[in-house]
Structure 1
Amino acid sequence: MSDPWLMPDGKTKVDPFVEECRLDEIPFPVWFAPYTKGERLGDMLWTGGSGLKIASQRMIDALQDAKITGYRTFDVDVRDHAGNPIKGYVGFATDPGPTTDIQNILGQDGQNFVFIANQRVVEALRAHGADELDIRPYDPSEFD
């Protein structure tokens, strides 16, 4: 049996392809399951262990309507733990620039499940009814 975290060559790790949102370069189906035991799914899903983020289409609509910058989306196959499809979600990756509304935490290059958003983002999400958000002012001393 082959390792599920390796490409078919048995040597190349899959993780960089996932974290760089290059799913189309993986020669087998990739799907994500929410890392939750509950039945309620919020506007962002924690996928456990991966820096990749999954966002609801409602959240993306809110960001697009407010012309928020610093992110990109991509198609993903989201399934519950039984393998049943979950509709209404897309992949969400930070894509920050010097003045974008969304930034990587601590200026990191790669994807991380934590990111920084300015007040415009918070207001846009709340105006569209986004829920289950853990939003607080950024305090760099928390990461020392």
Structure 2
Amino acid sequence: MTKIHTLSCDIETHSSTDLAKSGVYRYCEAEDFEVLLFGYSVDGREAQVVDLANGEQMPRETLDALNDVRVEKWAFNAAFERICLSRFLGLSTGTYLDPASWRCTMVWSEYLGLPLSLMGVGAVLGLEKQKLSEGKDLIRYFCTPCNPTIANGG
């Protein structure tokens, strides 16, 4: 088995708790919190997506890398990923993955005077592949609590 040096990751989650109102800790402590998708790249190789919501399993070496402080983990808004993945991995409330091995590309973006949103960074840098604006609508639809009165026509 090859040693992983860097792990870049992005997750999509669901919780009945409003993230904007409650913050990441309460958000992931909700009884119905779950990680739906886990996107990752090992050592800069092609990105992979694990559809956890449909029963796919993360590879053992990737799970091990999340717990290994020698592996550099990269994410945009790394604190969110780290706290949510701590819950996903079954760590008890108040116990989280060690932040020492996490690197936050959002912080690096701010340091360079770039926007604090992934979409904004992609637009400013003119990246060929950018975050899709439709993605925000899909995330809102699938990952936020639904008001049954509104969903059923009011």
- Output the TM-score relative to the length of structure 2: 0.29
- Output the TM-score relative to the length of structure 1: 0.30
